[in-house]
Each structure stands twice: as structure tokens, then as C-alpha cells.
Structure 1
Amino acid sequence: MAKIELRNVSKRWGSFIGVDSFDLTIEDREFLVLLGPSGCGKTTTMRMIAGLEDATEGEIWIGDRKVNDLDPKDRDVAMVFQSYGLYPNLNVYENIRFPLRVRKVPEGEHDERVRRASAMVELDDFLHRKPAELSGGQRQRVALARAIVRRPAVFLMDEPLSNLDAKLRVSTRAQIKNLSHELKVTTVYVTHDQIEAMTLADRVVVMKKGVVQQVGTPTEIYDNPANTFVAGFIGSPAMNLMDGTVTGGVFQGRDVRIGGLDHADGDVTLGFRAEDASVAGPGEEAQIAAKLYTIELLGDAVMLTVRAGGALVSVKAPKDFRAEIGEPVGFVVPTECCHLYDRKSGERTGAWHRPQGDGVPSASDAERIATTPAGPM
């Protein structure tokens, strides 16, 4: 097994910067997810680890070896791509076996290793089939088994679920999670899907335009986004973000007034999660009051959306809540669930103002969690 170290790694093509000063240690057996929108540099980072791209600057270490000058075949990594990359003329058994033949593994070991890998991904009944006879999910499992059979030091997975439909994505995601637990191999997984990141990762690296925005556990990144980009990218729905001004501890924006904030006066962006607020009951003071823009049934709840603070703001309500579009509605937003960001830079300036002694992080504690990566940066 192996630890991966990226030491100030950058990738440039002329004046274009694909990855800028990426500095991170991925621990042995850790499942790390690189998350971000298309073009943020996550796949380029993985390709540099694999040796498919040369780093312009910096060092890449796998275990105790600097691998910058090693060919991909000498780095002891196995890759699973978005495209399955199967050989159409070979059956499933031979597709899984192929890396063993290329690496000249003694033939006496082939059958046992192929069948063990196929069992892990539940393909025992399909070993005789050709790729054309398989579903998309089954083909992806063949690609996984072909990587597993190698017994590499590192798994690299580049958006392996992107070509699957919604139902298959859920089941294959569960399979990858189980395999990660069973194999205990250092894994770097690239995705733009924040649900995949939150469900699979030990740690998540959120990237934007080649720059790391935040590193942390899924819980840390969800509960304490370091900036408005992370806040707006993580979560379904994303965090509500509203522009306004804090004066004397009171945030005010269009149709919004939230008091009790421990923050200096000035222009800020205030954020909170849809599940942290509620509909104001009879006689209860609402911090947000506006007309209902839309109502969506989610099954276990309904999502209410209004226009407030210059943005669309969503709040979850009980599934039996009923209202018509255009009706006035009020929301209660607990002060302790509010996050505050600098209006210009988008960087976090405060959050989680709670009474001490209730087992919940204070503002200073949460600030530290949000801005301190879970590993070296």
C-alpha cells in the first residue's frame, strides 16, 4: 500500500494554468475525492499522479519513491476511466485477466485472481460474455475487476459512474464504497457529483480553476464551507446565500432581518442550509418574509422557495405543508445556523454563534475547522 504526496505540483500549458501549487498528502489506504466543476483541474491532477501528464513544477511521491520521471507502468497504479475501455473481442474473463498477462504474472495464479476479483463485483455469472452483451453497469464492474486483479498500490478513478443512469449510479456507488472498505487501497476518485463525494470520501478536495478551495471530511465541508464557492457547490440544494449588511449584530437584506450575530458591521453574504430553517408558525416572528415562488414535493418533505436577499432561498417543510404560489410565507432562521462571508472575497468571516457549553462549536472553533485542512496543504 502507499501514501501519495503532491508537493507544490503545478501544470501549465503556456499561459494557461490547469493546476496551481497543489500541495497535499493522501494517507495510506485513504479514499480521497477530487471534486469540482468541469475544467477545475481535478482530472489533470489525477493524470499527473498516473504519469499520463508531466507536472510543470513540483514533486509527486508514491510511497517512498519520487515518480515524476517514472513511466505510468512503473508507478504501480490502476486506473478506472469514465469510458470502460474493454476489449470487445475478449470475454469478461479475458478482459479481467489481461493485466496479469501483460505484467507476466505466473499463469498458475491467473484463474484464482480473476475469479476472486469477479466475485468482488458480482460478475461470476457473466465471465463467458462479451462486453457487447453486458449492461453499462456490468461493463463498469468489469473495469473495476480489471483494476482490482492488478493488486496495485493505488487506485485512480476518473468519473467512473458518469455514463450510468441514476439507479445504476446508486448501486455501483455502494459497490465501490464496499470495495474500498474491503480492499483498503489508497484511492483517488475524481467527480463533479457532490453526492458521490459526500458518500464515498474519507476526505474531499474541492477545486476551482486549478486552485484548491477547501480540504476536509465530508462533514466538515458540508457544515463549515470555507467560502461561498464551496457553500454554493456542496449540498442538494446548495446553501442559501443572500447579500446584505450587518449593523449592530443584525443582518438586513431585502425581505430579511436576522439578529443576534457576533460580527463586525459591514457588507456580507449570509448563508444557511434549507434543512436548518423552518416555516414560521402562528405568532412566531419570521426572519424572512416573502411570497412563495415555488413549492416542490420531495417525498419525505416539501421544498419551499421564495425570493429574498436578492436570491432564491429554499427551506424544507413537513411533507403535509400546503400553500399556493404567490401566498406570503415566513421562515425562521436560527442564528446558530448562519454562516457569514466577506461580500467581495467570498471568504468565510464568521458562523456558528452559539451559547457556550452546549456541545456545539463556537464561532472561533468553527472558523478553525473550516480554514484548517484535514491534511497538509
Structure 2
Amino acid sequence: MAEIQLRNVNKRWGSFVGVDNFNLTIADKEFLVLLGPSGCGKTTTMRMIAGLEDITEGEIAIDGKVINNLDPKDRDVAMVFQSYALYPNMNVYENIRFPLRVRGVDASTHDERVRRASRMVELDDFLHRKPAELSGGQRQRVALARAIVREPNVFLMDEPLSNLDAKLRVSTRAQIKNLSHELAVTTIYVTHDQIEAMTLADRVVVMQKGIVQQVGSPTEIYDKPANAFVASFIGNPAMNLIDGEMRGGVFETQRTRVEGLRAPDGKVTLGFRAEDASIAEDGNGQITAPIYTLELLGDATMVSVRIGQALVAVKADKSFRAEIDDTVSISVPADICHVFDTDTGKRLSA
């Protein structure tokens, strides 16, 4: 069992706050993703759990035991870094085996454990090769196997896919998802890629400027973002956000009028997702504007218009035909909309 508790955890360097009052319980065998832009504090949080960064204030406990003062080697965690950190003079077999040698594990068990880890990440045909003879995806799998072979209480993964090309990221992501199911070990995964977060996580922690913005399942965060930042960070494309005025349940700004909303009067930001809106064939949509750009995605056509400073996207059928600067009408029913306070970003709609 490996339940992890972070209690009022803070990290400061002088006056700079890297992580601000982080509180969370990570369940045994949970796959938790820390998500946010560069500099949001997600890697710092992971490094404090690993013991690679000192905690300024607060406590971290694993299975009820406070680990603040334990050395990294005594925390029973295995970390996979963005850089593969492989030993170039060792072949794949010896790279995977290395943690067992360092920790003084009974040598008679090494071969079985190395080959089990190798088999899990499909490296059996590469055990004799040196890292220089491997592709980026294969090197990352060696790094994963080296973490697996330790059989730790906790896996920590710091952007392990960011150095891979798009196709390899998809296949390696699937492998990590399958591994997490097979190994059933508490895993904390850091990424700035919201697709990785949505596909891998049991729960997602969205961070910005060292502060937790929202914690929830991928579905909860996608369907009901707590604030405009989370709304803008989750989704591909991100949620459309349009600044305007709310009066008596009606949102208005240039080229846009949406009726039937539940939100207080005043300055608000209207949000909706591209896949929830549609092209109004009858011309009676809530937004009417000239087309700014068209993108054929294969299964759909992304149509974008400009409303003030905002670029607003809607997914149309792949057969949709139009030209840039043609006027288009977009249907945005009230029941697909989210409303946020323009000043604080806080969610206002139910």
C-alpha cells in the first residue's frame, strides 16, 4: 500500500513561491497527473515527494509515515525523468539491472526481474544493445524498465514523453497506461500536455503559479472547469472564451448574443467548446461573423471567427465548404455554455 499525503506543503526560494499550500491525498494505486504550464510548480512538487527538493513548510507522508527528513534512496520511490539518463557504456540489460546492484538486491533474482521488466516494455530483442544504438522511444522504455525492476511503492514520472515525436508519444502513452493497470502501483505523472493528462489519469491536479486550480477526474475537469484558466488549458482546441456583458440572463458582445443563461449581471466571460457548437444552416445562430480561417482535420472542419480579441472555433462537418471572409452563423445554445467572472476567472454558471 502507498497512500501519499501532502499537508500544507510550501516551497519558497527567498520571496519567490514555487508551490503554495499544496494539500492532497493520493490514494493507493491511483494514477495522479500534475498538469500545468512551465513554471507552475508541478515538477517541484514531484521533486519534494522524491526528496530531491527540500520542503519549506508542511509535511509529506507515505502510508502515514512522514518522509520529510528521509533521503531519496530511503523513500522507496522510482523516478523516470524527461532525459533518459542511461549509462552509455552499459547495454540495455545492465542499465535495467543497475538499480538492483546499487541497492544490494540478491543477485540470484536479478535475471528474472530484469527480463520481466524488459518483457513489460517490449525490449527483449534489444537487451544486448547500447543506448546509442536505440531510438528515442526505445531509450525511454529502458528508463521505464529500470524504474519497474525496482518494484517500488511509488512511481514518479517527470514528462517522460516530451522528447518523443508525436507518433511515438501516442504508442508510449498507451504502453504507460497498460503498465499502470498491470503494475497497480501509486503513480504521480507530471506533464504540460493535457491530452496525456486526460488519457492517463484517474485524477488530474491542474496547477498555475504554484497554486492548485482544480482537482478532479478528467471528465469533471473537462465538463466543469473551476475557472477560466482550467477551461483554457484543457481541451484540444481549448475552450472558446469571449468577454462580454450579462444583463437579465442575456450575454452580449460584438456579433454575439446568447439568451437563457444563469449568471449575475455584469462583466463576464462566456465559454463553450468547439465540438459543442455548430454551424447554423438557417443563419439564426448566436454568433454571426466572417470566417477568419478554415482547417480540414480529416473527420471535421475547424471554422474560426474573431470576436474582439478572441479567436472562436467551431467544429463543422468535414463536408463544410466556405471561403475565408464569408459570413457564417454559429449556433451556441445556452445549455452548452460556461460563464466565468471576467476579473477573477471563477466559474459562475452551475
Q: Same fold (TM over 0.5)?
A: yes
Residue identity opposite 1:52 in structure 2: L
Aligned to 2:77: 77
* Worse-superposed segment, 301-310 or 272-281: 301-310
Secondary structure at 1:320's aligned position in 2? coil
Aligned to 1:185: 185
- Contact 1:301 1:317 (C-alpha < 8 Å) held by counterparts: yes
Shift of the alpha carbon at 1:142? 0.3
Gaps in structure 2 of 5+ consecutive residues: none
Shift of the alpha carbon at 1:179? 0.1
Aligned to 1:287: 286
Distance 1:150 1:64 in 2: 22
Distance 1:90 1:64 in 2: 38
Aligned to 2:107: 107
Shift of the alpha carbon at 1:116? 0.3
Shift of the alpha carbon at 1:64? 2.5
Shift of the alpha carbon at 1:311? 1.1
User: Aligned ranges for residues 56-71 of structure 1 at < 5 Å?
Assistant: 56-71=56-71
Secondary structure at 1:143's aligned position in 2? helix
Aligned to 1:44: 44
Distance 1:247 1:106 in 2: 72
Aligned to 2:331: 332
Q: Deviations over 1:225-282 (max 9, x none)?
A: 1111111111110000001111111100110000011222111000000000000012
Aligned to 1:3: 3
Shift of the alpha carbon at 1:310? 3.7
Distance 2:73 2:25 in 1: 22
Residue identity opposite 1:229 in structure 2: F
User: Aligned ranges for residues 106-145 of structure 1 at < 5 Å?
Assistant: 106-145=106-145
Aligned to 2:260: 260
Secondary structure at 2:150's aligned position in 1? coil
Distance 1:17 1:261 in 2: 38
Secondary structure at 1:275's aligned position in 2? coil
Aligned to 1:251: 251
Aligned to 1:318: 317
Secondary structure at 1:349's aligned position in 2? coil
Residue identity opposite 2:322 in structure 1: A
Shift of the alpha carbon at 1:175? 0.3
- Please say if 1:26 is aligned against 2:26: yes
Shift of the alpha carbon at 1:309? 4.8
- Contact 1:244 1:309 (C-alpha < 8 Å) held by counterparts: no
TM-score by length of 1: 0.92
Secondary structure at 1:276's aligned position in 2? coil
- Contact 1:35 1:191 (C-alpha < 8 Å) held by counterparts: yes
Distance 2:138 2:286 in 1: 50
Distance 2:132 2:309 in 1: 51
- Report % sequence identity: 76
Shift of the alpha carbon at 1:334? 1.3
- Contact 1:254 1:310 (C-alpha < 8 Å) held by counterparts: no
- Please say if 1:148 is aligned against 2:145: no
Distance 1:320 1:21 in 2: 50
User: Aligned ranges for residues 158-177 of structure 1 at < 5 Å?
Assistant: 158-177=158-177
Aligned to 1:371: none
User: Aligned ranges for residues 209-224 of structure 1 at < 5 Å?
Assistant: 209-224=209-224
Distance 1:292 1:165 in 2: 32
Q: Which runs of 4+ in 1 moved over 3 A?
A: none
TM-score by length of 2: 0.99
Distance 1:86 1:267 in 2: 54
CA RMSD of aligned residues (A): 0.7
Shift of the alpha carbon at 1:335? 0.7
- Contact 1:232 1:240 (C-alpha < 8 Å) held by counterparts: yes
